[in-house]
Amino acid sequence: MAAKLQLPRLAWPALRRKGTTASLRVGLDVGSSAIKVVLASAPRKGAVQLLKYLLEPLSDETNPVRQAALQRVLTTLGVKEGEVRMAIAGQDIVTRLLTLPQLSETELDSAIRFEGETHIPFPLDEVALDRQVLERLEGNKMRVLLVAGKKEAIQRRVALATTCGLKPVLLDVEALAVTNAYLADQATTPEAVTTALVHIGAHYTNVVILRQGQLCSFTRDLNFGGQDLTKTIAEQFNLPPAEAERLKCEPGERQQEVAAALQRGLEVLVGDLRLSFDFYETQLEDTVARVLVSGGTALLPQLPGFLQEQLGLPTTVWSPVRWLTQDGQSVPASLASRLAVCVGLVVRDLA
């Protein structure tokens, strides 16, 4: 196996991405609750077409379960082998926004290792580093996004794909994949206001703040997800996890009492979001103007209203596939929100 494949670089728009020549693009999101896949074709520069998508629930997070689920997905989609784009998140990733003096590409490479020593809380020989120049600033400075991913975690992701006959060609950061999906959507209806993307899965909440809708100016993965809410329900109603999960997603007649119990869980998220927004607003002297939520937990009916009220910011669920499907009809709303990472993976490098 080529060294590059054992350790794919973490990357973000406009970084080097060799080997992604196939017009069929496969975006694979191995979440903690489900595997999501989007197949798209990119027949020519700048164009992309959604071909197929699938969500396969995971009964647990062990390797054999993941592998079997991925095999089923590939069989259903008719994908035998080929290139695949993946992402990682959570504790295995560290992202930092740095302000550095203007540097050439070569100077930047060595500066990044030096900065990594200071800003990355892991030994540097245990991580893969990558970076992206985000903007050139006044006073001969530039803002750079530094990303470090644990090699061991990257290796685990890669191994899952390779054992199923796939060839991982790109490893992204989930939060940045969500950002790319959003920016692709914005290409059709741009809104130049500072926007917080809050992608809430089962374990993690990826937060990205885009200054004036454009630049990734803040990113953090919060240790909060739908599993915490399920735990709250389990405790409150004294139920086993599977039943608590069912009651959370389909409360039926018990909607009011379930909503009241969930509120306590959601207050934790609100607290974490406030801290993140405050940090951003102080650091960048800018104000978050709206919140867009996605991910499975965004499907909770009361979530947007609750965040809106608590944060005092307009909050809506957005569909990452709306612009891909033209009419937005072909992907059920219950699924669209969970495909953000996959969409972000397949739309990279279109321009």
Ligand X SMILES: Nc1ncnc2c1ncn2[C@@H]1O[C@H](COP(=O)(O)OP(=O)(O)OP(=O)(O)O)[C@@H](O)[C@H]1O
- Residues within the interface to ligand X (CB under 6 A): 31-34, 201-204, 225-227, 230, 245, 248-249, 295-297, 299-300, 338
Interface residue with Mg ion among 8, 27, 149, 201 (CB under 5 A) is 201
**Min separation Cβ 33 and ligand X, Å:** 3
The rounded Cα 135 to chain-centroid distance in angstroms is: 22
Count each helix (H run) and each strand (E run) in the chain, helices first: 11, 13
Compare residues 131 and 338 and give the one whose CB is closer to ligand X: 338
Among Mg ion, ligand X, none, what binds residue 66 when CB lies within 5 to 8 Å by partner kind? none
To ligand X, the closest distance from the beta carbon of 29 in angstroms equals 6
Closest approach, Cβ 196 to Mg ion, in A, equals 17
Per the CB < 8 A criterion, the answer to whether 146 and 62 are in contact is no
- Residue 144 vs 177, nearer CB to ligand X: 177
Q: What is d(CA 204, CA 88) in angstroms, rounded to the nearest whole number?
A: 11
Least Å distance between CB 43 and ligand X? 29
The nearer residue to ligand X, 33 or 180, going by C-beta atoms, is 33
Decide if residue 225 touches Mg ion (CB under 5 A). no
* Interface region with Mg ion, contact rule CB under 5 A, candidates 57-65, 96-104, 193-201, 240-248: 193-201
Query: Which neighbouring-strand residues pair with 209?
Result: 196, 218
Q: How many residues bind Mg ion (CB under 5 A)?
A: 2
Select the binding partner of residue 208 from Mg ion, ligand X, none (C-beta < 5 to 8 A, by kind). none
Give the end-to-end CA distance of the chain in Å, rounded to a whole number: 30
119-178 residues in contact with Mg ion (CB under 5 A) are none
> Which residue's CB is nearer to Mg ion, number 194 or number 319?
319
Beta-sheet strand order (sheet of 315-317): 215-222, 205-211, 195-200, 290-294, 315-317
Residue closer to ligand X, measured from CB, 194 or 294 = 294
Q: Could you tell which of Mg ion, ligand X, none binds residue 299, using a CB distance below 5 to 8 A set by kind? A: ligand X
- Give Cβ neighbours of residue 130 (< 8 Å, ≥ 6 apart): 9, 10, 11, 12, 15, 146, 147, 149
| 344 interacts with, out of ligand X, Mg ion, none, CB within 5 to 8 A per kind | none
121 exposed, middle or buried (CB, 10 Å; 0-12, 13-18, 19+)?
exposed
- Determine the Cα–Cα distance for residues 24 and 287; give it in Å rounded to an integer: 40
Torsion of CA 204, 348, 23, 295, to 10 degrees: 30
Question: Under a CB-based contact definition with an 8 Å cutoff, are residues 300 and 228 in contact?
Answer: no
Please state, in angstroms and rounded to a whole number, the distance separating the CA atoms of residues 225 and 206: 10
- Closest C-alpha to 221, from 181, 179, 264, 180: 179
Give the count of beta carbons closer than 10 Å to the beta carbon of residue 312.
Answer: 8
Helix axes 63-77, 151-163, angle to 10 degrees: 50
Q: How far is the CB of 33 from Mg ion (least distance, A)?
A: 8
**Residue 248, contacted partner among ligand X, Mg ion, none, CB below 5-8 A by kind:** ligand X
Instruction: Dig out the tokens for 298 from the structure.
Output: 């965004």
Query: In the complex with Mg ion, which residue's Cβ is closer, 201 or 265?
Result: 201
What minimum distance in Å lies between the beta carbon of 140 and ligand X?
39
Q: How far is the CB of 345 from ligand X (least distance, A)?
A: 13
State the nearest-atom distance from the C-beta of 296 to ligand X, in Å. 2
31 binds Mg ion (CB under 5 A): yes
Which residues in this chain contact Mg ion in the complex, by CB under 5 A? 31, 201
